[in-house]
Amino acid sequence: MLLGALEGTWPMEAEACKVAADKAGPMSVTWNSYLATKAFGMYIAGNIEPMEKQYKLFCNKITYRMRIAPGR
């Protein structure tokens, strides 16, 4: 879902995908509400397990691993 937002490849109208991918474009509460309703309706349909896996993969891509050394 998040990768689709980033790339503008959600399975919805071409114009909506174009606006979603335009990071310089104006976003509004109305637009965010419209988009969220459509996106969640497509990706969340009872079983969130597949989305959970994709979400964790996405989080791993945008963060780096850190090891914390034990206290002294």
pTM to 2 decimal places: 0.38
Taking the C-alpha atoms of residue 27 and residue 23, their distance in angstroms, rounded to an integer, is: 9
Please count the structural domains in the chain: 1
Q: Does 27 map to a domain?
A: yes
Q: Does 31 map to a domain?
A: yes
pLDDT < 70 positions in the chain? 8, 20, 23, 25-27, 45-46, 71-72
Q: Does 70 map to a domain?
A: no
Which residues constitute the domain of residue 40? Answer: 2-62
Q: Does 23 map to a domain?
A: yes
Residue 43 corresponds to which tokens in the numbers above?
């990706």
Taking the C-alpha atoms of residue 21 and residue 27, their distance in angstroms, rounded to an integer, is: 11
Q: Does 68 map to a domain?
A: no
At 12 the pLDDT is 78
Q: Does 39 map to a domain?
A: yes
Q: Does 72 map to a domain?
A: no
For the stretch 53-62, pLDDT in tens is 888 888 888 8
